[in-house]
Amino acid sequence: MKKQILFLCTHNSCRSQMAEALANHYLGNNFHAFSAGTEATELNPLAIRVLAELGIDTSHHYSKTMDEFAGQTFDHVVTLCGDANEKCPLFFGGVERVHHGFEDPSRLKGSEETVLPEFRRVRDEIKNWIIGYFGGTK
């Protein structure tokens, strides 16, 4: 049986969506990942783009709040930003709760050409941390 991971950040538009997609892509044999935010917004198009560069399709993803997962049990609950770490409710009774913050590339100003490398950098940092922390390769 696959272990369940829930990734949390503020808007569920960028970092947590990337973490969900990367974990399912690289660790899908052993884990099933989900993501949510303290608020729901829209998926960031540049996050979608940098995941597509790795062959990861997120067309079925949508922004969700933590409330959507109320009462569910997870093996791991991972907060990816300080806001989610502070607001993570106690009902997420994961066997393991961990915080690992990543910069939010969606807050960067500038042209797509300017910010796209930062989206790639954060994507790769999340990917490397997930693989290193949870183990696995593809």
Q: Which residues are catalytic?
A: 9, 81, 88
pTM of the model: 0.90
C-alpha span between 106 and 110 (Å, rounded): 11
Tens-digit pLDDT profile for the chain (138 aa)?
A: 999 999 998 899 999 999 999 999 999 999 999 999 988 899 999 999 999 999 999 999 999 998 898 888 899 999 888 665 566 655 555 568 888 989 899 888 888 899 999 999 999 999 999 999 998 544
| Per-domain residue ranges of the chain | 3-134
Q: What is 3-134's CATH topology?
A: Rossmann fold (3.40.50)
Give me 3's structure tokens: 């272990």
CA-nearest of 83, 123, 124, 16 to 5 is 16
